[in-house]
Amino acid sequence: MVKRIIYSVIILLIGIAVGYKLFGTKPSATPILTSANLYRPVQYANDSVVAQSETIFNGEIINVKQGDKIQDAVKKANPGDLIRVYPGTYSETVYIDKDNLTFQGVIQEGEWPTLDGFKKLNDAFLYSGNGIRIENFKITNYKGNGIMGQAGNNFIIRNNWIVDTGVYGIFPQYGKNGLVEHNVLTGIEDAAIYIGMCDNIDVKHNEVFGNVAGIEIENSRHCLVESNYAYDNTGGILAFITPGLPIKTTFDVIIRNNFVLNNNHENFGAPGSIVSGIPPGTGILIMAADDVIVENNIISGNNNAGIIITDFENGGAKAANDPESDPNPDRIVLLDNFMTNNGNEPVGELKALMMTQLSKKGPDILAIGKGEGSAIRDRKRYRTFGLGHYGMATITDTKNVFTFTLPEPVEPKQITTEQLGEFTFYGICSGCHAYDTRLIGVPVNVIQMIYKNNPEKMVEYMDNPKNLRDDYPEMPPQDYLSEEAKLAVAKYILTMKN
């Protein structure tokens, strides 16, 4: 026990030193190269940029206290209002379809406002509005999601405790320009923080532990994952492409200054889902994503491998029916990371692979499968396998990339009647349903066989779903959607090709 404490203190001191090295001087306003061989747009870090979180409040304040409903406050609120929720237990799903609302928990003498689903409700917060902020809540015992965004832009989710909320903890879907920071999440059976089909997102200063996946960047672009503490998950931090989703790419992802420690938890994901294939002991996993930079992380005690970089074929993803998804990870850049004590107990195929090398120990860094244009800085520092095609990194750091969020709010998505079905699928359904790949729910091509030429029957199921298969979790009712949106998305699903 004493040795573990000493070891943890050493790791913490190293982390402080690394952080000082990176942030000891003020970032300049000069863009830098963010991958091995091409420029990407970056956010300048200069005094003219004002973070979203500093926007001045100018609306009304609506107070919610024990015995009140948060949803009633939403009904009363106008864009720009602040809804303050005082300590107490609130058992409800809060639907937010208005723009520019702030939900602020008030903490008094250590007591927080708590949303408790009592394992009967699916979601705590479900927002489709733009400019939504949710902070200072405890959320627990939901079956589906703690906080889910459905195509809302310009969001901030911070300083929440999210415990045992089913599939996902914090799940912005198909949104742009967002910040997820200073949250604590545990007990999630898929991903604690799941950035799905989003652009320009920062994920900072969160603590994720005891989940299947700590932080996932899936089919998303321009994302910064920084200064998080990911430990005791099955997999710590993931950046990957899931084939069969409407957005086909993941690129421009920076994973830096994180503690990725002891991610050896048994995998308790839904059998057959993509995350159920994550081997315990995985620190950082990159699958088919492009232009990912891994820098200045402390990666230690992950029993399978510290960093795994793989293509679809070796990562277990099925891409045969989605030719638009590039299956290979290209232009991955590995910079200075502190890696120690990884690979002590490799499992499955990695264990067999290492046995061919007459080793019982897994590597710090494993690259398997195809891909091109990748590079590493000072490979001699690490135990590696499969990096023979990696070149020498031509950049030394990314410290001038201060954020991937945008200095001005982006416009809400403008949706025509003809686009309603597609938009609804992107923003709502695609979090659980891919075309021919199992995420959480039944694949789309199976749904098409069940409801062929009968979108109205699918709408009936959306309103009152029944769990007809033991190998899939119960689908939450979608009865909060308009009749027009439900019929439009049903028709869209029946016409999807991949």
Instruction: State pLDDT tens for residues 87-109.
Output: 999 999 999 999 999 999 999 99
201 and 317 co-located in one domain: yes
- Contact (CB, 8 A) for 441 and 432: yes
Distances (CA, A) of 56 to 52, 100, 130, 318: 10, 12, 16, 47
Region 340-344 average pLDDT = 94
229 and 356 co-located in one domain: yes
76 and 193 co-located in one domain: no
Q: Is 36 within a domain? A: yes
Q: Is 93 within a domain? A: yes
For residue 171, pLDDT over 70 is answered with yes
For residue 55, pLDDT over 80 is answered with no
The model carries a pTM of 0.83
| DSSP letter (8 states) at residue 59 | S
As a whole-number percent, the residues of the chain with pLDDT over 90 amount to 60
Q: Is 222 within a domain? A: yes
For residue 295, pLDDT over 60 is answered with yes
244 and 218 co-located in one domain: yes
- The closest of 378, 264, 258, 274 to 318, measured between CA atoms, is 274
Q: Is 17 within a domain? A: yes
284 and 360 co-located in one domain: yes
Structural domain boundaries enclosing 7: 1-45+188-410
For residue 349, pLDDT over 80 is answered with no
For residue 392, pLDDT over 90 is answered with yes
- Residue 391 structure tokens: 């070149």
Q: Is 97 within a domain? A: yes
Which residues, 6+ apart, have CB-to-CB distance to 298 below 8 Å? 11, 14, 15, 18, 258, 259, 260, 261, 337, 338
Cα separation, 469 vs 272, whole angstroms: 13
Domain boundary among 410, 434, 467: 410
Q: Is 54 within a domain? A: no
- Residue 395 has a pLDDT of 94
Q: Is 179 within a domain? A: no
Higher pLDDT, 229 or 271: 229
Distances (CA, A) of 417 to 209, 361, 427, 488, 489: 42, 57, 15, 9, 11
Domain boundary among 410, 434, 466: 410
With cut-offs at 50, 70 and 90, classify the pLDDT of residue 412.
confident
Instruction: Give the number of other CB atoms < 10 A from CB of residue 465.
Output: 15
Instruction: State pLDDT tens for residues 106-121.
Output: 999 999 999 999 999 9
405 and 295 co-located in one domain: yes
- Residue 275 has a pLDDT of 84
- Residue 178 has a pLDDT of 98
Region 130-138 average pLDDT = 97
- Contact (CB, 8 A) for 150 and 428: yes
Instruction: State pLDDT tens for residues 18-43.
Output: 443 333 333 332 222 222 222 233 33
- Residue 432 has a pLDDT of 78
Higher pLDDT, 12 or 487: 487
98 and 221 co-located in one domain: no
- Residue 272 has a pLDDT of 74
- Residue 310 has a pLDDT of 94
276 and 401 co-located in one domain: yes
For residue 6, pLDDT over 60 is answered with no
389 and 333 co-located in one domain: yes
- Residue 497 has a pLDDT of 82
Region 449-466 average pLDDT = 83
Highest mean pLDDT among 7-21, 263-277, 361-375, 441-455: 361-375
* Structural domains of the chain, count: 3
Which residues, 6+ apart, have CB-to-CB distance to 490 below 8 Å? 421, 451, 455, 456, 458, 459, 462
Region 173-186 average pLDDT = 97
Angle between helices 420-427 and 483-495 (to 10 degrees): 90
428 and 398 co-located in one domain: no
- Residue 354 has a pLDDT of 67
- Considering the chain, what is the average pLDDT of its residues? 85
Domain boundary among 173, 198, 215: 173
Cα separation, 198 vs 219, whole angstroms: 7
Q: Is 56 within a domain? A: no
245 and 223 co-located in one domain: yes
CATH number at residue 454: 1.10.760.10
395 and 433 co-located in one domain: no
